[in-house]
Amino acid sequence: MSCRCSVLGGTSNIDVVRNGTPESIAEDIAEKLRVGVDIIGPECAVPLDAPYENLRTIADVTRRLSGEQSAPADADNLRC
């Protein structure tokens, strides 16, 4: 019997999610994908003061580097 499980990689809440630059975010995500992490996300809860742009960059870079299709056209409407 074979089994497959997904691995969630903890992106640093402080270093990447809150204080990351587009370059450091891309480096973090590329490393996680290189080692086989299936799901990219913060290590725990998203800091309340995390810039929306960093969250969007995490999603966009993950899609680009993993070869996933772009987000739906109305994804920008999800912004609070």
- Per residue in 14-64, pLDDT (tens digit) is 999 999 999 999 999 999 999 988 899 888 889 999 999 999 999 999 999
Determine how many CB atoms are found less than 10 A away from the CB of residue 26. 18
pLDDT band at 3 (very low <50, low <70, confident <90, very high): confident
Overall pTM > 0.85: no
Find out whether 37 and 9 touch, Cβ atoms under 8 Å. yes
- Give the type of residue at 56: R
- Give the type of residue at 70: S
